[in-house]
Each structure stands twice: as structure tokens, then as C-alpha cells.
Amino acid sequence: MKKTILIGSIVTLSLLVAACGTKENQTQENSSSKENYPVTISNYAKAEGSTKWKTKEETFQEAPRKVMANTKPAAELLLHLGLEDKIVGVGADFGQPDKAVEKIYKKLPILSKDYVGKEVTLGTDPDFVYGRAGLFDNNEWGVGTVDSLNASGIRTYLLESSVTGGTFNSIYQDIDNLGKIFNVEAKAKEFSDEIKAKESKLTTSLQKIDKRQTFAYIHTMDPTEISIYSAHDESFFNDIFNLIKLDNVYKDEKGDISIETLLETDPDILIFPIWEDGADVAKIKSGFYANPKLANMKAIKTKQVYGVDYNYLFGYGYQSLDGIEKLASEIYPSLFN
């Protein structure tokens, strides 16, 4: 009987000690979390109807709890930081998945395959809206302007990579900022280091290329309807191609580019987007090669036409590194064997 009482007392004491320890740990964690706030991040806003981004500070009194990500690439970045439980909605659910987080991503609340408007955004009851800068607009395809969301008590963060002037290097600042906003700086640094290592490996593998090539971006999946986009203000777009020594031949041009200009410029490579899941890329390429209007172009004669997933081009995320590496392996297969 005494032995039973003694064992019971020991168990009770152990539970009390464990409970106290847990309570102390929770108290320390909560204290640590509170000590990191408020956090002020320098970000951007644009007046309705304006084309100019201006810096605007966003102050966070605590980590956001209900996050609306306006694109798939934006949501995938949060998953790498372990923030899946905070995501209440994802817009623009299209494009190649990041295999590393694909299973977790499939469990997220998807709002639409297309860009979503402000009404749908607010319907998720978010306290934080974040993602591609160009979608912070009051048009039907936009989540609302930064100022209008802030006026409703909703904090915002626009990916620096997606603001005019952003580059692939801006992604590292985005990861760092998100680490501070959500108090997950260790995870942010770990993921940032991972991307930097991949970037370094890619640039090293291309060191043997001593000649830069030019390309034109054909903004269509229909090879019978040629539409050239200069991407003049798309600094991120132009920078990712620079990683593999490709120059957008029209990056300094404003306005429309005619097919006559394309023929006269005659770039080395033609690139088109893939924005439909399951698209027959080989068939689209064949269509370009068979287009009589393009027959005399060097890119057609040398079979240098390539399709790239739209999100790799205009997703403004770390995922672009995978897309640009895939493109490089198609252009320079001998360097990736």
C-alpha cells in the first residue's frame, strides 16, 4: 500500500514539474515573441490610377494570423517558412508547382484559378494581404490598393521583386522581411541560404558560356497570332534572363513592337509563355516553326524557340530560378549532362 502511494506521489510530482516546465517555456516563447514587436518594414504603395510606386512603412504589432496570398508563388514562399496554418486564401492558382511544398499547398484554401478581386479577398477576413505588387489595385482583378486595405486595418506586403526596379536579388530581401514580419527569421535565413546556393551552382555551371545571346518574348501560346511584348518595365523578368546570359532585345523599347520590327531585329532566341496546365509545348513550338511569316528568322532556322511557365517569368519568386535553369539546360544541354 505504501509502495502504491509512493509511486502515485512520484507520478503526481513529475506531472507538476512537467506542467511547470511547459508553462515556463510557453511564457518564455510568448515573451520572446512580444519582444520582437512592433516590427516596421519599408514597403510600397501606389495611388489609384498612378504608375509610380512610392515607399511606405508598414508596422506590425504582432505576427499576422490570417494571410491572403494573391498568387501561387507567393503562397509557396510562405510554406517554406512553415506558415501554412496562417494562410486563409490563395488567388491565381495556376502554373508549375514547387515539388518541395506541393503536398502542403494542395491543402490550402484556393480562391480561384484566376486573379481575385477585392470582394473575394476581403471575404477571407484577412489581417494581412501579400504578394505580387501589380495586383494591389481596385480593378476587378486586384485585391485592392495598399491604402484602401490599410484603411480597413489590414496590413500589406508587396514583394520587392515585383515592384518596378526589382531583381532576382530582391527575393532575398523579401524572404528576410517576411522572416521579421512573422518572427521566423531562422527559417527565413535557412531558406534564403538554400536559394543562394542554387543560384551559385547555376551561374557556376554557365561560366563556360562566353557569348551572350539575344531573345524576344512572344506573349502568346498561339503561334499564328504573333504578339511581341517588350517587357520594358519588367526589371525582374529581364534580370532572371541575365542570370543565364540572355538579353531581352527590346528591354529599352516602349510601346508595341511590330512583327516587321521583330523580323528586322532577328534575335537569336524566341520565348513564349506557358500559362495553361497540360499545354502541348511541342505542338506550339511546331506552330512557330511552321509560321511562314517567321521562316527567315535565325531562331526558326536554328530551332531556338522555347516555352517557359508563366509563373517562372512573371511570378516574381524564387521559383524563377528553377524555370531559368530548365531553360538553360534546353539551350545548353551539354553543360548539364
Compute the distance between CA of residue 259 and CA of residue 157 in angstroms, rounded to an integer: 39
User: What is the distance between the alpha carbons of residues 193 and 80, in angstroms, rounded to a whole number?
Assistant: 12
In the chain, the domains with their CATH numbers are 39-200 (3.40.50.1980), 208-336 (3.40.50.1980)
The CB density around residue 55, as the number of other CB atoms within 10 Å, is 9
CA-CA distance, 33 to 61, in Å (whole number)?
Answer: 11
Alpha-carbon span 109 to 163, nearest angstrom: 26
What pLDDT shows up at residue 126?
99
Tens-digit pLDDT profile for residues 272-284: 999 988 899 999 9
For residue 33, what is the enclosing H or E element?
A: helix 2-35
Q: Is the peptide bond before 73 cis (omega within 30 degrees of 0)?
A: no
Which set of grid coordinates corresponds to residue 238?
529581364
Walk along the chain (337 residues) in steps of 10 and give the mean pLDDT of each run.
41 45 45 78 92 95 99 99 99 96 98 98 98 96 97 98 98 99 99 98 90 97 97 96 97 95 98 92 98 98 98 98 96 88
How confident is the model at residue 33, as a pLDDT? 59
How far is CA 271 from each of CA 13, 122, 254, rounded to the nearest angstrom? 70, 37, 19
* Residues with Cβ within 8 Å of residue 109, at least 6 apart in sequence: 87, 88, 89, 90, 124
In this prediction, residue 15 carries a pLDDT of 41
How confident is the model at residue 25, as a pLDDT?
Answer: 45
CB contact set of 303 (below 8 Å; sequence gap of 6+): 289
**CA dist 166 → 55, 98, 185, 316 (Å):** 13, 22, 22, 9
> pLDDT, tens digit, for every residue of 46-102?
988 888 999 999 999 999 999 999 999 999 999 999 999 999 999 999 999 999 999
Confidence (pLDDT) at 5 = 40
pLDDT on residue 60: 98
What residue type is 81 in one-letter code?
Answer: L
Query: What's the confidence (pLDDT) of residue 6?
Result: 39
Grid cell of 85 as nine digits? 496554418
Please check whether residue 246 is in contact with residue 213, taking contact to mean a CB–CB distance below 8 angstroms.
Answer: yes
- Per the CB < 8 A criterion, the answer to whether 93 and 154 are in contact is no
* All three cell numbers of 180: 521579421
Classify 88 as helix, strand or coil: strand
Asked if residues 53 and 73 have their Cβ atoms less than 8 Å apart, the reply is no
Q: Kindly state the cell numbers that stand for 10.
A: 512520484
Q: In whole angstroms, what is the distance from residue 290 CA to residue 95 CA? A: 27
